[in-house]
Structure 1
Amino acid sequence: MSLLLDATEFYTIPPHSKRSPTSCIRGRQQRTSWGGDLLGRWVGKRQGRRYFGARLPYVGNAPSCAAIGWTWPKMGSMLFAAVFIALHFATGGLANPDAKRLYDDLLSNYNRLIRPVGNNSDRLTVKMGLRLSQLIDVNLKNQIMTTNVWVEQEWNDYKLKWNPDDYGGVDTLHVPSEHIWLPDIVADGNYEVTIMTKAILHHTGKVVWKPPAIYKSFCEIDVEYFPFDEQTCFMKFGSWTYDGYMVDLRHLKQTPDSDNIEVGIDLQDYYISVEWDIMRVPAVRNEKFYSCCEEPYLDIVFNLTLRRKTLFYTVNLIIPCVGISFLSVLVFYLPSDSGEKISLCISILLSLTVFFLLLAEIIPPTSLTVPLLGKYLLFTMMLITGYT
């Protein structure tokens, strides 16, 4: 019997290549003729299609179909799929075996809950920095600044060292940050890590972790010169449980002889805000002692000095207010017994009142100071009232 591969047709083919054609009975099948010897290959033609088959021992003229046939296009597609799947599974298990062996050797007995120092009295130096990505919002009423930052942290873990020559030249390894020890650096405010990114391990033991975070910090808003004002916001970071003798917190750009960093925040990837300009971004490292403890506690404070862009407020607030105020000059040119004089004064008062309410909606409800623009509106309203 010959084996003929086809997705839809099955045939029983006797080995008598010189004899008359035989039939394959499957429902209403038509006769098919074949040629070739017992051990050779054959090509059958039926209704203009080409088939490929191989000879099998003949078992008789069974009425059922015992041969399977495939057309050449279908045969090529299936062969391609089979080769692709075989190569995928053959290479998948062998992909980067040196990195897999290194990962198993480093983290098989690793305890991520223990501070990575040789002796308990050793101090672990953790360097951190901020990379500002976006200034999301500065809420004047609630005095809160919301930013999108990358918190860059670096430290050395002596348990994560290796010789690259022993692992096929692998000198760096990316591992999930949940599998290694992480410093408990927290912010004095609402600080939320959006994605637990992978940490980068270097063969020297250096660990680099840069998770993105949404940070909400406090701003002491001063609106005296609104809208020509500058605001200073603070972002404070420090260890939650470790004192200064256990974790030495330092800035990435800090020099040994100074705790002040002139440019403390990286602005290379900063998206320019449409409302604020960043003027200065210094940072300072503080070491504080508390009455409860003998150990120092370290923190790093990042300062952002923001200056408001005044074009929007100048066009939509200041110029209309000044223009309406100049209308009060027309009051002197109207007769005292004219009714239009009172109507003009009342219209000016109502317009200034609207702008004053608009200003009150923008600035925070503080009693410490009154903005100069508010003082101007109050003075103009009192002056118009006196004219009336």
Structure 2
Amino acid sequence: MTSSLIVLFVFIGHASHVVTQSGNDAKRLHQQLFVSDTYNKRIRPIDNQSSAIDVYANLHLLSINELSETDEVLTTTAVLSMSWNDTFLKWDPNTFGGIKFYYWPQNEVWKPDIALQNSYLDYKGLGDKTLNVMNIHTGAMYWNPFQVFKSTCSLDIFYFPFDYQTCYLRFQAWSYSRRQVNMESGYRDSQGFDLDYYETNSEWDIVNTSWHVYRDQQDAAINFKMTLKRKPINH
């Protein structure tokens, strides 16, 4: 993944911001939010704790690494771009030298514990402690974990080598119910399932993509669906 692509994902919708604040301004901002205001990442960042936090997730597929017919596993590389509002991480830019946004290590702020539900491997949270979350002064939060996903995919090869396969990546807030974290997609006119930076695969063509928010009485999850067509052997 190129550095320019990382920058693009981080600055979605905010490329016009230019900051000239000092280091002391940044220190005062951190002191205010995390010390004076006693920010606690264990508390869901919403004033009404009886309400759910809306979390928007969009999948930026970068590549299909492999579709294993033996194990029925789809391996992909993707960025899951997420956004939510943190009511406890707001400030007036005029008070802090014009700072309109800042970056905090992902382990220092509240974030939804999103996991790939149909993972072929053990369930684990997204991201890495070295990643940052972008915090806008309005409380808007942007998190873009980049990861290789191994998801289960049931295959039907009856029509091989002219077969089509349908695979899913299903993400869910693992330890929260939908009354606490409500999953959504398609924010800011996004397609929900984005292929703008997808690198074509030598064996499979993507012929269709879609996304769907699944809800039951307890949970909310997002299915990202892709339909694949096997390329001719002599392509």
TM-score bracket, normalised by the shorter chain, equals: 0.7 to 0.9
Partner deviation per Cα, 1:331-362 (whole Å, 9 max, x = no partner): xxxxxxxxxxxxxxxxxxxxxxxxxxxxxxxx
C-alpha separation in 2, matches of 1:154 and 1:253: 9
| Residue of structure 1 in register with 2:140 after alignment | 206
CA-CA distance at 1:213 after TM superposition: 1.3
Specify which structure has the higher proportion of strand: 2
| Residue of structure 2 in register with 1:88 after alignment | none
Matching of residues 1-388 of structure 1 within 5 Å? 96-108=23-35, 109-188=38-117, 189=119, 190=121, 193=126, 195-196=128-129, 197-253=131-187, 263-289=191-217, 296-312=218-234
Unpaired segments ≥5 residues, structure 1: 1-93, 256-260, 290-295, 315-388
CA-CA distance at 1:254 after TM superposition: 9.1
CA contact (8 A) 2:57 2:192 kept: no
Percent identity between the aligned chains?
33
C-alpha separation in 1, matches of 2:127 and 2:54: 25
CA-CA distance at 1:95 after TM superposition: 5.2
C-alpha separation in 1, matches of 2:39 and 2:138: 17
| Cα root mean square deviation, aligned | 2.1
CA contact (8 A) 1:194 1:214 kept: no
Deviating 4+ runs (over 6 angstroms): none
* 3-state SS of paired residue (1:160): coil
C-alpha separation in 2, matches of 1:123 and 1:101: 31
- Counterpart of 1:239, as a letter, is A
Partner deviation per Cα, 1:272-294 (whole Å, 9 max, x = no partner): 111111111101111113xxxxx
Specify which structure has the higher proportion of helix: 1
* 3-state SS of paired residue (2:88): helix
CA contact (8 A) 2:61 2:195 kept: yes
* 3-state SS of paired residue (2:165): strand
* 3-state SS of paired residue (1:100): helix
- Counterpart of 1:206, as a letter, is A
Highest relative contact order (Cα 8 Å, sep 6+), 1 or 2?
2
Unpaired segments ≥5 residues, structure 2: 1-20
CA-CA distance at 1:249 after TM superposition: 0.9
What TM-score do the two structures reach when normalised by structure 2?
0.82
Partner deviation per Cα, 1:33-75 (whole Å, 9 max, x = no partner): xxxxxxxxxxxxxxxxxxxxxxxxxxxxxxxxxxxxxxxxxxx
